[in-house]
Amino acid sequence: MGTTYSIKLVEENIDSIYIHNSIDNILEDINTQMSTYIDNSCISNFNDLEIGDSLNIKSDFTDVFNKAHYYNSLTNGSFEVTIKPLIDLWGFENANYRTNIPDSSSIKSALISIGINNIKLRDDYLYKIDSVSLDFSAIAKGYAVDNIATFLKENLIYNFMVEIGGELSLSGYNSENKKWSIGVQNPSLNNISSTLNLMLTNKAIATSGNYRNFFTHEGISYSHIISPITGYPIDNNILSVTVISDQCIDADALATSLIVMSIKDGINLIDKIEGTEAFYITKESENLYSKGFKNFVR
């Protein structure tokens, strides 16, 4: 997945070798299905299909695709896993493009290939109805976190923290028998006093930000987060969004969606989703919350 992972277990008498190997197998299986960096992965094989062809997929792939479809509908297109042509065009997977800005005609052409509704799922087969390409980078990490959390609970391990690339699942309590303490730092400030401390148990958390991965051209910075609606990198007042939810796949997808949407629309959406909260940091270091977020602040 192009990132690191960390898992903390607060248990005694566990078979650490079995747990470690099993987790590696879970991650390897998801990676071989959903990584665009692997030429023969399931997602790469789908992207290589001709229009009208289909591909048999595993249940993991089905679960992620269905969840992506759900959030695409819920966010009116702000969450879109067929955004790969725009990612390729803007060069965030190809450093050679980073010295150039795509012209408007190229962006309009790429936008024609955006739309999850151009893919149909029937009986474990994914059908390519039009020229589309998938990229699960905004949702696969969260799904992997949830899978590991489920595996640990199936093995009677209930006190743990699972983290993949900054997306987390927290269960039970830490080694001090307290809720897990998670820090969310204001990326515009570089001091420890700017960190918001959260106390979490039996929750997942994900953060999306546009302050780390970007490039600058002629004095203008371009975020790696591209709007599937406009075809351009987002250019708004949001520095980062943190989402707390019951499942990490939901927190992951929503964090990406909210950074594309307006703050007003994002908070209105979150306030309608039970068990889910959001926290925004703006470029002016303003902190904005959904209704129940402060319940998690220490």
Nearest to 203 by CA among 160, 253, 264, 237: 160
Question: How many Å apart are CA 73 and CA 57, to the nearest integer?
Answer: 22
Question: How many Å apart are CA 142 and CA 152, to the nearest integer?
Answer: 16
pLDDT at position 191 is: 47
Token code pair at residue 143:
């799904």
Token code pair at residue 141:
């990490």
Give the rounded distance of the alpha carbon of 91 from its chain centre: 19
**Angle at Cα 248 formed by Cα 151 and Cα 263, nearest 5°?**
180
Question: How many Å apart are CA 197 and CA 207, to the nearest integer?
Answer: 14
- The residue type found at 2 is G
pLDDT at position 286 is: 85
pLDDT at position 190 is: 54
pLDDT at position 193 is: 47
149 CB-contact burial (10 Å; exposed 0-12 / middle 13-18 / buried 19+): buried
Quickly tell me which residue has 């960390």 as its tokens.
6
Per-10-residue mean pLDDT of the chain, 298 residues long, equals 91 91 97 94 97 96 98 96 90 58 89 94 95 95 98 96 96 96 75 74 92 58 81 86 97 96 96 96 88 92
pLDDT at position 10 is: 95
